[in-house]
A and B are shown apart, each in its own frame.
Chain A
Amino acid sequence: MLAYTIRRVLGAVPTLLAIITLSFVLMRLAPGGPFDQARRLPPQIERNIEHNYHLDEPLYRQYFRYLDNLAHFNFGPSYRNRAFTVGELIKIGLPVSARIGLAAIFLAIMLGAAFGTVAALCHNRFADHGIMSIAMVGITIPNFVTAPILTLIFGVYGLSLFGHPISLPVGGWNGGALRNLVLPVIILALPQMAIIARLVRGSMIEVLHSNYVRTARAKGLPARLVITRHALRAGLLPLVSYLGPAVASILTGSLVVEQIFGLPGIGRYFVQAAVNRDYTMVMGVVITYATLVIVLNLAADLLYGVLDPRVRL
């Protein structure tokens, strides 16, 4: 297990380095500098600014300077938002994004696994077909369509449920109040929930047909115990390896959701930086995201190794 862990951790380092190099090269290939404005600055001022941001050094020096800074968690200054450094902006935005993202993943896993299991238990019956059709809708319709529609239903018109009118705020962070988080988290979780439900259904159907489940049934174990103690353990295993991709898609989805609901997360900063061509900010966020994805992928793989002894070779 230790050798496996070390091998996997060492494997992640070149990946991260490749990402940093790739985004650095791409950014420097860009035509035009980060300070190009409609009105040209006097050449002396332009030179001073470039000197200040070390843009007049040879490329390889800039690259190593950037690597060195990264090693100290210093992403450099934001070229557009001069009052803040990129690191500060990420520090402000990351907790917001992390809170929404983690809640969404948790919700998606819980409900997705539950629906998938129910569908597998009712294989080829009405509940199965119903859940799978809804899952198909959830996968196909993108979150930038579901978000406005759900906002309209629950936020603007305010649906009444069991006699209680629900009216959720249509945007804003509000210090992370639960009311403000409900819609973004649900919208972020929906597609993942659908994918997880499909995944769990497939593996549960396979597990329920396996020999050991039949043995458990044959020896007279009640259905509840067969499912919770025997089938679920193996049936939920593929979920662990889906965690990595799920995190990546939730990050991508958070760009849209944070934009729509006006949440101050790094996804929103990233989109604004991309539109304004704020190179250091874009790079900083991409590297943060990539690190997150790589670390979580690694964690998921190691967890899989712990749970499934067949992996440990």
Chain B
Amino acid sequence: MMTDVTARDKAALIISARDVVGRSLWIDASRRMFANRAAVASIILLSVIAVMAVFAPLLSPYPYDSINYQLISCAPFWWPGHHVPCVAGGAHWFGTDALGRDLFIRVLYGARVSLAVGLVATFVSLFIGVSYGAISGFVGGRIDELMMRIVDVLYSLPFIFFVIILMVVFNRSLWLLFLAIGAVEWLTMARIVRGLTLSVKETEFIEAARASGVRGHAIILRHVLPNIIGPVVVYVTLTIPSVILAESFLSFLGLGVEEPLTSWGVLIANGAYQIETAPWLLIFPSIFMAVTLFCFNFIGDGLRDALDPKDR
């Protein structure tokens, strides 16, 4: 008979099913990600910048804050044009700034601050946004409406001004900068997470978890969050550059990190004042910052294509 399947066939089917290696979402996604040349190049470039930032003191013989009045704003030795090069001071690859400090090491120290702000503030915004959005979406009803109304209200504010108020009111410190930027960047994350939670909430496996008596917070942590992680990861990579920009913006205005510590925003601000006499002071920090921002954007786009191929 045609529909009759023998025991041997069944066994063969089971074995072949066992031999097939399952391809999870993540394996699929990483395969797509590594096929994206721009994203891979960005990851490599960004890792190089990050490693240089971490090991900055080992890469240069000069301390980042040592002032040398013999070498004020001297050009890198290879700089074209008629600028005064740093002859006596050894190899200043990026030249020196208005106080005779080596620009190369200062750009790397700036990278430390900018990347640290990017990561910490993004983590703060991730933490607030995910908890807020997941609770709002999962609880639903009136509370959801109220919570989202609050987000709407905050959304319509020019929030960078509130960071500035925070920096004015409390004395400026690096930690406050981290927290303040993170505390205003969580809104979009909360909206995204809420929307995803709403759609996951109605699925059968959540219903099953509820029916078997799992508590609300456990459902959120164990069943909802793992299922919405893809878009969240994408948005995190896009938040980091906007946080770095916000920090540089504040530092540029003189409201961010303070001397002798530096960040790309401070270096660019200082360079902008000397652009005629010492253009390298603007150009090198700008290149580092622009490359970093580009990398994060390309990685974000790559991740989005990899994790959500239908939304191209």
Contacts and interface: CB of A to CB of B under 8 A. Distances in A.
B297 A274 contact: no
Contacts of B282: 145, 148-149
A42 to B, nearest CB: 26
B97 to A, nearest CB: 15
Interface stretch (B75-83, B110-118, B166-174): B166-174
Contact of A152 (B254, B255, B275, B293): B275
Given A14-B153, A145-B286, A145-B290, A152 B276 contact: yes
Contacts of B156: 15, 244, 293-294, 297
Contact of A275 (B241, B255, B271, B286): B255
Contact of A142 (B157, B248, B255): B248
B157 A293 contact: yes
A30 B162 contact: no
Nearest to A294: B156
A167 B156 CA distance: 39
Given A136-B297, A144-B265, A144-B268, A26 B275 contact: no
Interface string B152-194: 0100111011101111111100000000000000000000000
A18 interface: yes
A293 B268 CA distance: 29
B249 A18 contact: no
B29 interface: no
Interface of B: 153, 156-158, 160-162, 164-171, 241, 245, 248-249, 252-255, 265, 268-269, 271-272, 275-276, 279, 282, 286, 289-290, 293-294, 297
A289 B271 CA distance: 29
A73 B160 CA distance: 24
Interface string A260-288: 10000000001100110101001001100
A290 B164 CA distance: 14
A148 B275 contact: yes
A151 B271 CA distance: 13
A9 interface: no
Given A140-B297, A142-B248, A275-B255, A27 B165 contact: yes
Contacts of A22: 162
Contacts of B297: 136, 139-140
Given A22-B162, A27-B169, A144-B249, 10 more contacts: A14-B153, A23-B162, A26-B162, A145-B282, A152-B279, A244-B156, A256-B249, A274-B165, A274-B255, A289-B161
Interface footprint category on A: 35 or more
Contacts of A27: 165, 169
Contacts of A113: none
A259 interface: yes
B153 A23 contact: no
A27 B255 CA distance: 16
A289 B249 CA distance: 18
A147 B160 contact: no
A141 B157 CA distance: 23
Contact of A18 (B153, B167, B294): B153
B160 A252 contact: yes
A255 B169 CA distance: 19
A144 B169 contact: no
Nearest to A260: B272
Q: Is the interface of A mostly helix, strand, loop or mixed?
A: helix
A156 B269 contact: no
A29 interface: yes
Given A145-B268, A148-B271, A271-B253, A31 B170 contact: yes
Contacts of B160: 252
Interface of A: 14-15, 18-19, 22-23, 26-27, 29-31, 136, 139-142, 144-145, 147-149, 151-152, 156, 244, 248, 251-252, 255-256, 259-260, 270-271, 274-275, 277, 279, 282, 285-286, 289-290, 293-294, 297
Given A144-B252, A244-B156, A289-B161, A274 B168 contact: yes
Contacts of B170: 29-31
Contacts of B166: 26
B290 A141 contact: yes
A301 to B, nearest CB: 10
A286 B159 CA distance: 10
Contacts of B241: 140
A257 to B, nearest CB: 11
Contact of B276 (A147, A156, A274, A277): A156
A29 B170 CA distance: 8
Contact of B158 (A30, A144, A248, A277): A248
A147 to B, nearest CB: 7
Contacts of A256: 249, 252-253
Contacts of B289: 142, 145
Nearest to B301: A136
B268 A259 contact: no
A79 B70 CA distance: 42
Contacts of B164: 270, 274, 282
A136 B300 CA distance: 13
Contacts of B248: 142, 144
A279 B271 CA distance: 30
Contacts of A279: 168
A255 B107 CA distance: 24
Contacts of B171: 31
A274 B268 CA distance: 20
Contacts of B153: 14-15, 18
B265 to A, nearest CB: 7
